[in-house]
Chains A and B, each alone.
Chain A
């Protein structure tokens, strides 16, 4: 039997397969090149980059929890100039798509990164709207439909590459947020970012994380992620990139069936640097087993 066709199209960009990396779990791929062939990935989504270097949070930044982990790295990144100098040339050596995840504390910061990338050789942009908006008292950009609409509109105006908007799950109505992003010009939607969580050291009566709260990721969050991808898939027409706790091919297939066109592997990379390849092989095996010629034929084919 022929190998199934794994190609997917995200906002006009063709990926050789739907397997991507989740921003912040893969750097820009350098550390993983020793473990996997980066050419095999559908796309590398780079760690969130801001207009200037961010040092990140102080104190303990990680806590392991049941089937998952909390992090409070705080988007430590070298800033867009360093990123353009080092990371883009590194990734361009590989036959994979480059998705640049963009972080910002103000609308102006997001816009400056997008404008700086205008003439750079990258395939897609991913806007991280889970960042706190410092001008609005630290309220996360992604939790309010009006704010989402405003930031996406302004960023989209300045972007040359297609724009993916990455949603935070820490909202009451994810579909409403997704619709607002789509209406404002998002070319694709990715979800979910981490769920806000906390861990406590009962012996010291202190929070484990220096930042007190952090983002929960890993297999523990998969059911929530899947539910949200399903809801968003029913609410918007733009392609969706699903993520949250994917560790195997079966997990990825669940997201595809729920309506995701692409899927991203995140925390699993920390557990096993070959996780993306395991997921890719698992998706392919599933398609072969169920006589599916093309991965796009199973997207959103849930029987309800």
Chain B
């Protein structure tokens, strides 16, 4: 039976303003996790009942560790940011359906925006062939150096132009048109929509990792929805269980 796990914090430090990196020792999760999955972290505060879903940035099976990169967006994540090396944290996972990696695909395009960038790092590590990475940020980039360890083609854009190209990932894709047979993307919804449109125009398949507010994380509560095509109709799929990674052609954007 699956159960709540205790992770031991090995490192927890700020990368840039409001974004932290946490390395956890939790071998049940590092053994099971695949690319694009997430974990649920619990706050020690009793008034905050619900776990926080955080995507897995790196999986280190050998050492029984995972790395999470998270933004402080509320009370729960603010608490996490205060935790110290050696502290333990209650957690569950890994959850969700991650990215599909096909051996036959040789030309990969990876597009990330903001706090959607972290789960793409483990993906890039595992892809084989030609990899182009397009990363967009509001101002301070994260993990760029890490991505460059796996491919020379890492392009960065910032909205304020303080780093890389001034603009967004779509501007980058126009500026450095990639060779691609598969696109993998994670980021804010407007960016995912733009990537979906761009990939459709270029007739390239795309996998999109969606984000939603969640409660249970295991597919029971039905609060995290992705409006999806279903035969001639549509329905709300569960981001936590049916996703978070969806094929572009199933996602509907009209709400």
Chief secondary structure at chain A's binding surface: loop
Assess the B214–A62 pair: CB atoms within 8 A: yes
Q: Could you say which residues of chain A place their CB within 8 Å of the CB of B115?
A: none
CB distance A64 to B220 under 8 Å?
no
A66–B1 contact, CB under 8 A?
Answer: no
* Bound-complex Cα distance A67 to B46 (A): 7
Chain B residues 196 to 241 lying within 8 A of chain A, measured CB to CB, are 213-216, 218-225, 227, 234-236, 241
Q: Give the chain A neighbours of B220 by CB distance below 8 A.
A: 25-27, 31-32, 269-270
Q: Is the CB of A61 within 8 A of B225?
A: yes
Which of A62, A73, A218 lies at the interface centre, i.e. has the most chain B CB atoms within 10 A of its CB?
A62
A212-232 CB contacts (< 8 Å) to partner B: 218-219
A282 interfacial contact with B, CB 8 Å: no
Query: Is chain B's binding surface mostly helix, strand, loop or mixed?
Result: loop
B73 CB to nearest chain A CB (Å):
11
Instruction: Tell which of B19-27, B47-55, B60-68 binds the partner.
Output: B47-55
Q: Which of A244-268 contact B (CB under 8 A)?
A: 267
Chain B residues with Cβ below 8 Å from A67 are 46-47, 49
Given contacts A25-B221, A32-B220, A56-B225, contact A69 B241 (CB under 8 A): no
Bound together, the chains give a CA A97 to CA B15 distance in angstroms of: 52
- Chain B residue numbers with a CB within 8 Å of A90 are none
Question: Which has the most chain B C-beta neighbours within 10 Å: A60, A61, A219?
Answer: A61
Q: A35-B2, A76-B236 are in contact. Are A269 and B49 (CB under 8 A)?
A: no
Taking the complex as formed, is B4 at the interface, i.e. its CB lies under 8 A from any CB of chain A? Answer: yes
Judge whether A16 is part of the interface by a CB distance below 8 angstroms. no
A274 touches B49 (CB 8 A): no
- Cβ-defined contact, B222 with A270, below 8 A: no
Shortest distance from the beta carbon of B81 to any chain A beta carbon, whole Å = 18
B223 touching A61 by the CB < 8 A rule? yes
B213 and A62 within 8 A (CB): yes
Interface size bucket, B side?
20 to 34
| Interface contact A272-B4, CB-CB below 8 Å | yes
Range class of the A interface residue count:
35 or more
| B255 interface residue per 8 A CB criterion | yes
Q: Which residues of A contact B1 (CB under 8 A)?
A: 34-37
CB distance from B239 to the nearest CB of A (A): 11
For residue A36, which residues in chain B have a CB less than 8 angstroms away from its CB? 1
Given that A34-B2, A270-B220, A272-B4 are contacting pairs, would A62 and B47 also be in contact in the complex, using a CB cutoff of 8 Å?
no
Which of chain A's residues 70-117 have a Cβ closer than 8 Å to chain B?
71, 73, 76
Q: Which of chain B's residues have a CB closer than 8 A to the CB of A59?
A: 255
- Whether B17 is near chain A, meaning CB under 8 Å from some CB there, is no
Given A64-B49, A67-B49, A69-B50, is A270 in contact with B221 using a C-beta cutoff of 8 Å? Answer: yes
Using an 8 Å CB-CB cutoff, how does the interface string of B80-103 with A read, 1 for contact, 0 for none? Answer: 000000000000100000000000
Which residues of B line the A interface, CB within 8 A?
A: 1-4, 46-51, 92, 213-216, 218-225, 227, 234-236, 241, 255
